[in-house]
């Protein structure tokens, strides 16, 4: 059952779609300019209403497949109000384009209701605008439970904004390294890294594989149940469908400590570059230590260089593991994780496991000790 209410002045279509009874799911869709309503609504609008409703239903039923998500066009005034005029008090951090703010949408106007994350990017050049549009097109094609959901966007004069689902637990970096955080349990740490592996597997298995290129603990967001989602695709790169397994980067980009040394040395970027970064994050998750920390003694500044020699020695395991775990972890499972970390950190990309292998290994470790 579909009930529609088309308002010409606001150029919007409000749908109430009854997928199951009860409840009735209310969906608000802003109509793009090509569908502007300039006259009173008539029965001729019904096909459009039905089409939009059908698309929403398909997205709801197939949220985990490769179908591109439907993006909403948000009015700038609504986002300005939602973020209290981009108040510094609501700033969550910095994303790939600019500052990210917490916002609250009017639940009577938008199906998403309550909290969203709004990324603000002020574009002053045609080149910057073209780059923003390219990234929007890229992000709009991704749809997976372990990839942050882009809900919509806004382009208003020099203001360009992206609206994402809000992740209340913030990032893995926040919950893993801050002293105020309650220590993550062994099971939760595995669950988080399994989600990351699933996200990478999705990206790497696309027809034109996507290299994330900036996998790090701050780019892994967590929902209320600690399900992990990859975010910040500002450096992501697609591998052309031409038989090549890598792309040559004219400018080497990434984050020191997480970036693949082979990529830095050769400029060749491949999906196995992400696997190295995954190994670094897995090591951080096991040890509770950041990969680069200048406060540590000089010989221990780089976590990978410091700990790598001990990863394959069982007797060193307890010295490596995060002491906040208080040894509440299975020794065999922990050792299998350190062995997997070592494989991910191999110097040559060809010697590293695929994302599918990483995922399978972590799932087996988790199930063995469930």
Instruction: Enumerate the active-site residues.
Output: 214
Extended strands (E) in the chain = 2-7, 12-17, 25-30, 72-73, 91-94, 99-104, 115-122, 150-156, 159-165, 210-211, 220-222, 228-230, 237-238, 246-248, 268-270
Report yes or no: 199 and 61 within 8 Å, Cβ to Cβ: no
> Which residues are 101's β-sheet partners?
91, 118
What sign has the CA pseudo-torsion 287, 293, 295, 301? positive
Residues facing 247 on adjacent strands: 269
Q: Is 298 exposed, middle or buried (0-12, 13-18, 19+ CB in 10 A)?
A: exposed
The per-residue b/e assignment along 121-152, b for 16 or more CB within 10 angstroms, e otherwise, is: bebeeeeeeebbeebbeebbebbbebbbbbbb
Whole-number Å distance between alpha carbons of 94 and 98: 6
| Length reported for the chain | 370
Which two structure tokens, joined as six digits, stand for 339? 């062995």
Residue 212 preceded by cis peptide, ω within 30: no
Taking the C-alpha atoms of residue 260 and residue 103, their distance in angstroms, rounded to an integer, is 35
For residue 149, list its beta bridge partners: none
């Amino acid at each position: 059952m579909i009930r529609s209410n088309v308002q010409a002045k606001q150029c919007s279509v409000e749908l109430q779609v009854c997928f199951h009874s009860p409840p009735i799911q209310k969906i608000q869709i802003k109509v793009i300019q090509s569908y502007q309503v300039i006259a009173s609504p008539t029965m001729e609008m019904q096909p459009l209403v039905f089409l939009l409703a059908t698309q929403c239903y398909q997205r709801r039923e197939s949220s985990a497949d490769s179908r591109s998500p439907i993006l909403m066009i948000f009015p700038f005034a609504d986002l300005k109000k939602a973020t209290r005029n981009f108040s510094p008090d609501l700033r969550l951090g910095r994303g790939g384009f600019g500052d990210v703010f917490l916002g609250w949408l009017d639940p009577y106007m938008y199906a998403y209701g309550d909290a969203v994350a709004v990324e603000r990017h002020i574009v002053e050049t045609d080149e910057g605008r073209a780059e923003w549009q390219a990234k929007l097109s890229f992000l709009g094609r991704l749809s997976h439970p372990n990839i942050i959901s882009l809900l919509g966007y806004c382009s208003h004069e020099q203001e360009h904004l992206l609206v994402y689902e809000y992740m209340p637990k913030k990032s893995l970096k926040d919950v893993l390294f801050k002293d105020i955080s309650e220590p993550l349990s062994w099971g939760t740490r595995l669950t988080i890294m399994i989600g990351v592996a699933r996200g990478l597997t999705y990206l790497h298995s696309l027809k034109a594989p996507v290299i994330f290129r900036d996998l790090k603990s701050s780019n892994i967001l967590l929902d209320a149940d600690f399900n992990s989602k990859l975010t910040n695709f500002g450096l992501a790169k697609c591998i052309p469908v031409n038989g090549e397994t890598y792309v040559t980067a004219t400018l080497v980009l990434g984050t020191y400590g997480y970036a693949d040394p082979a990529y830095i040395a050769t400029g060749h970027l491949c999906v196995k570059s992400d696997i190295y970064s995954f190994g670094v994050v897995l090591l951080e998750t096991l040890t509770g230590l950041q990969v680069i920390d200048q406060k540590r003694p000089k010989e221990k500044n780089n976590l990978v260089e410091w700990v790598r020699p001990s990863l394959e020695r069982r007797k060193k395991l307890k010295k490596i593991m995060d002491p906040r775990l208080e040894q509440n972890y299975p020794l065999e499972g922990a050792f299998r994780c350190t062995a997997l970390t070592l494989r991910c950190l191999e110097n040559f990309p060809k010697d590293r496991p695929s994302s599918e292998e990483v995922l399978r290994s972590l799932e087996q470790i988790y199930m063995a000790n469930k």
